[in-house]
Structure 1
Amino acid sequence: MSERQEQFSGTSAVRPGQEIDAGRLHDWMAANVDGYAGPLTIEQFKGGQSNPTYKLITPGQEYVLRRKPPGQLLPSAHAVDREYRVITALHAQGFPVARTFGLCQDNEVIGTWFYIMDCVDGRVIWDTTFPSVPKDERRAYFDAMNATMAELHMIDPDKAGLGDFGKPGNYFARQIGRWSKQYLEDVDAGRYAAMDRLVEWLPANIPPGDEVSIVHGDYRCDNMIFHPTEPKVLAVLDWELSTLGNPLADFSYHLMMYRMPPSTTTGLVGNDLAALGLPTEAEYIDAYCRRTGRDGIADIDFYVAYNMFRLAGIIHGIKGRVIRGTATSAHAKKSAEGFETLADLALAQAKKLGA
């Protein structure tokens, strides 16, 4: 088992400071969740750095609870209500997400907003090399990820009831502005020269053209549940960053696995892809383009640079939460230590384009 698989798989006892009043939660679920019946046992998933995630066990069914973390929060972060809305809408479209059961926006119940969804039985793969999958099956798993993302981007937001889920157009300018603002305002986490340069360079070099689709925002192998034995995605998880946006931004974020070292994330740089039975970056791009009716993706280097910057911004936020004492994952401190490396990687991409 890989280190990340060991660190993040499964559940553990609820972490100190993130406890839930089981009695109050039981009462709320009894009143709001069809078919719920206690007694209720609560465990916490090891993963879930941003929104604490819990497994709720009852004699008849298992559920998952996602909540805002306790403590002081940035205004736009931890939007569990948006997660709940997009998952509910996509489930109705037949897209692979968990069924939702209810959203609570009353802080009096467990201290923060939360929602309840189905606990999907399957496996989460935390290492992008898919070491737990036989070599001759790995391409099929990559193809399943690719096909699922293409399916998401081909859903009509209006028909899904998500036509107002984000602002249409100018996605890159708005996102660069958002993450720049969040980076600059989080004074606890500090400044870094590479990020400062990207804050200046990126908005001045956005490629022409714009498209709008539903985007996930954090599409990775470890944010989905695969069938226990088959190369099939049963549920895509962690929709906190979803919105209406440019599908090429979403796809190129996912594509970063080909340009990131394993020491930084679960990147593939330095691995022999053929020996591992994995498709190349070019093959993966071609498969997505075929599924979405594209001839190719121009400006992929800019999109990857932007996404590395954005990921560095996310990690910078985790660093700030570690410093403020509101980080929700036991592994948040280690993640936060990767901020400068990520910012350097992002700037290196931008330098290919003259930054």
Structure 2
Amino acid sequence: MAMAANLTTVQPHHRFDEARLADYLAARLSNFKPPLTVQQFLGTSVNPAFMLHSPGRNFVLRKRAVPKKGSSLAESIERDFALITALHKAGLPVGTPHFACTDEQVIGTPFYLLDYIPGRHFRDPNLPGMDPKQRNAIYEAMAAALAQVHALDPALTGLPLNGGGKEYLARQIATLGEQFRANRTDEIGAMERLLEWLPANIPPQQASALMHGNFRLENLIFHPSEPRVIAILDWDLALIGHPFADLAINCMPYRVTIPGMGSLQGIDFIDSGIPGEPDYIAAYCRHSADPAIRENGIPHWNFYLAFALFRVAVMAQGILKRGQEKGPGNPAMKAYASVVRSVANQAWNMVDGGDD
């Protein structure tokens, strides 16, 4: 799939003065040459990205639509850029960072600039048009890239460590619980039991790592001809947390179908070549830098799956509540209501059993 298929004209609510940006880039980059043309990347990210075309050189501009909690837009952009810079320095596959701009006079909001990395970008996790061997190799490469992220020393990222692993899980479960209670629209027995069970059953094993937070096929750029990840995109949710939670979030297409996002449910894994969840987890373990994981796999995997499913249910509940506040009659809200209940039941079945 060509990268051009993932570009569109700049959407009206994201437009900015391209001539002013071109002047700014000419003053900041010695190798920048006009004219400048701008396109927007398609995607579900809240924070948009843009392709900047200039003669002989292309760049990616990222800005934020929403600041991180407790930060201004400028502080959020500076934090994002500092992380990308640290990851690039540490050898993770990200675009070469150039600068962060907090002067809102340039395009109306803070932004940062990276080199564009050409390659293959797959939006559909089913990988249509590939043969089974190619699909298997792509998933093997994705597992290897996630293991590479988790192998990085968290201290090199510059992100707050906040106790990492177990403390991340405890904080996340508490925060998600508060969000669900604030947005509750129906009584769902499985969610009520998860709210009690999850904080009381956090696995004892401590593991702390850089979490991408939204690691999925759509956020990866692959080599033009090889099954190898050459860029990891969309680090907006990155933090120091638990690697197995990150892996479980990565595995959600195996478990749920969310409106507007890809799913692997109903796939024939033998005929397609796409590894089933156990085989994908095994691939991650093979590539892990931790000998214990390579030898023994992942203990308490059902807990991490239940946590990730719980997270999906809470997010879907928030979308449902906001949709209902805008007024009745939106058919998409029925789909989200179904997601909340079915995913909550699936999460509870992971750890106990019984639907509601």
TM-score interval (norm. to shorter): 0.7 to 0.9
TM-score (norm 2): 0.83
Q: For the residues of structure 2 that align with 1:324 and 1:123, how far apart are their CA atoms? A: 40
SS of residue in 1 equivalent to 2:100: strand
Counterpart residue number, 1:157: 154
**Quick one: which amino acid aligns to residue 35 of structure 1?**
N
Counterpart residue number, 1:176: 173
- Is it true that 1:132 corresponds to 2:133 in the alignment? no
* 1:139-288 to 2 correspondences below 5 Å: 139-158=136-155, 160-162=156-158, 164=160, 167-169=163-165, 170-183=167-180, 191-194=185-188, 197=192, 198-261=194-257, 265-288=261-284
Counterpart residue number, 1:343: 340
Distance 1:321 1:13, change over 3 A: farther
2:310/2:347 contact within 8 Å kept:
no
Q: For the residues of structure 1 that align with 2:254 and 2:133, how far apart are their CA atoms? A: 19
SS of residue in 2 equivalent to 1:350: helix
Higher relative contact order (CA 8 A, sep 6+): 1
Q: Structure 1 unaligned runs (5+)?
A: 326-332
Counterpart residue number, 1:67: 63
SS of residue in 1 equivalent to 2:221: strand
TM-score (norm 1): 0.83
2:306/2:348 contact within 8 Å kept:
no
Worse-superposed segment, 210-219 or 78-87: 78-87
1:213/1:247 contact within 8 Å kept:
yes
- Deviation, 1:131, is 1.3
**Quick one: which amino acid aligns to residue 115 of structure 2?**
D
SS of residue in 2 equivalent to 1:234: strand
Structure with the higher helix share, 1 or 2: 2
Alignment root-mean-square deviation, CA: 3.3
SS of residue in 1 equivalent to 2:144: helix
Higher CA-based Rg: 2
Q: For the residues of structure 1 that align with 2:163 and 2:16, how far apart are their CA atoms? A: 35
Q: Structure 2 unaligned runs (5+)?
A: none
Worse-superposed segment, 303-312 or 76-85: 76-85
* 1:111-126 to 2 correspondences below 5 Å: 111-126=108-123
**Quick one: which amino acid aligns to residue 281 of structure 1?**
E
Distance 1:269 1:28, change over 3 A: same
Counterpart residue number, 2:33: 37
Percent same amino acid among aligned pairs? Answer: 35
The number of residue pairs the alignment matches comes to: 339
- Deviation, 1:166, is 5.1
Q: For the residues of structure 2 that align with 1:148 and 1:298, how far apart are their CA atoms? A: 21
Distance 1:119 1:316, change over 3 A: farther
Tell me the alpha carbon deviations over residues 93-119 of structure 1, each in whole angstroms, 9 at most, x when there is no partner: 221111111112233322222111111
